[in-house]
Amino acid sequence: MTSPQSDPAPQPPQPPQGHVHGHTHSHGPAAPVSKHLRKVIAAVVIPFATAVVVGLIAFWPGGVPDHERTGVGFDRQTQDGKVVQVVKVDCADVNAAQVPPTGDTSTPSGREAVNEQEGECAKATVEVTSGDDKGRKFVEVVQPDAPRQLREGQGVVVAYAPDAPRDLQYSVTDVNRKIPMTLLAAIFALAVIAVGRLRGVMALVALAVSFAVLTLFILPAILQGSNPLVVAVIGASAIMLAALYMCHGVTARTSVAVVGTLISLLLIGLLGSLFIGWADLSGNTDDNTGLIHGLYPDIDMSGLLLAGVIIGSLGVLDDVTVTQTSAVWELHQADPQMGWRGLYRAGIRIGRDHIASVVNTLVLAYAGAALPLLLLFSIAQSSVGTVANSELVAEEIVRTLVGSIGLVASVPVTTVLAALVVSADRPGASTSSSTAAAPARTGRGRRRKA
């Protein structure tokens, strides 16, 4: 009696299989691991997640500590402003620059002063548009060779110095870029949602969680005087758990990626601590870090550098570990009889291509960020050894190489973990086959209803 019902099935055998395959990629691996193995994974991941939560509670800062503003760099009171008028005037009339008494123009500063005296300056009237002094106007003189020229109607950021004479209390420090930056962020979000759909939405939510952990926990905790390395490890772990599980689901495959990422982060932390100390990198190399050290002298600046290495490596690590885990899972689905050694060899071949591209990406990213600095060394005609030995460049070299070593190590570590986990389910074939067969029946049932 069953054969008449099953006779028509061989004519369209492919659609049900295709339906099962699509369902598999949308919602996870085709053959989920057994309950026993899930318990083993949970026994590793749950204590780790609990430790992260305890760490967040123990080191929670409760806000950024107050300090007296210095009026230097970013540590200034600022308000919004708008350029209401721009008038061209002779630089000599507004005394924009002082020519050296000797009239020497052989130096760059001397030539610059003469050019400014003979050139045409811009006299801008700026109105404060926020704060207690809203509506107040002041004059800003812009020299002809200034990198940023002002135009009428332009939004600007103005700094307020309460201790200065009234006419000098306000000055333009930057351009207001809120509108273009907000628009670009909106375009980015729409592109992610349009292509990624639900996964894209979850990725944006995970991104918001990452920024929340960074701004509400990591930065204030470091300013409160907590150990930057401990804070970075706790914060990075929280970001990792939220991002991976929100974007890829609470599955054994994601849990393997979490463990692989954690092992790689620990390796990066150990190597970074070793070589930052060995190379005597202070972490205090520019005006911004110098200002931080001046405001909060108790902060361990070399520890802050190490924290930056760990957090900076996390994003790429997530990508590598998830990709390797997914590759091993798909290989096992294609050939369930393949042992863990075969899965590892096949997965590591995929990982080698990933390593080459990721390492190149990291190096180019850091080189691009340090391009102005590298140009200065080129102008000075410094040797490669001299450039590499300077602390500014040495920091970037250590940051790049330590992060890259962690990324390279994450490939075999995650691959072998995934191969061992997915192949360990082979003895319990009854569990896997029964769960794998369920979607196939559901697919045929859906097709009949259609």
C-alpha 253/C-alpha 425 separation (Å) is: 13
Q: Is the pLDDT higher at 122 or at 74? A: 122
**pLDDT tens per residue across span 273-322:** 899 889 888 877 777 777 777 777 778 888 888 888 888 888 788 888 98
pLDDT confidence of residue 33 = 62
pLDDT confidence of residue 223 = 83
pLDDT category of residue 94 using cuts at 50, 70 and 90: confident
Instruction: Give pairs for 205-209: CB < 8 Å, separation 24+.
Output: 205/246, 206/242, 206/243, 206/246, 206/247, 207/243, 209/239, 209/242, 209/243, 209/246
pLDDT confidence of residue 121 = 86
Q: Which of 393, 339, 406, 335 is nearest to 366 (CA)?
A: 393
pLDDT category of residue 208 using cuts at 50, 70 and 90: very high
pLDDT of residue 54 exceeding 50, the answer is yes
Instruction: Give pairs for 158-166: CB < 8 Å, separation 24+.
Output: 158/78, 158/79, 158/80, 158/81, 158/126, 158/128, 159/71, 159/76, 159/77, 159/78, 160/76, 160/77, 160/78, 160/79, 160/131, 160/133, 161/71, 161/76, 161/77, 162/77, 163/71
C-alpha 103/C-alpha 96 separation (Å) is: 16
Give Rg (Cα) of the chain.
30
Amino acid letter, 351:
G
C-alpha 256/C-alpha 259 separation (Å) is: 5
Average pLDDT over residues 204-228: 88
pLDDT of residue 196 exceeding 80, the answer is yes
Q: Cα–Cα distances in Å, from 321 out to 29, 330, 346, 348?
A: 16, 14, 15, 12
pLDDT of residue 111 exceeding 80, the answer is no
Residue by residue, DSSP assigns 124-172 as EEEEE-SSTTTT-EEEEEE-TT-SS---TT-EEEEEE-TTS-GGGSEEE
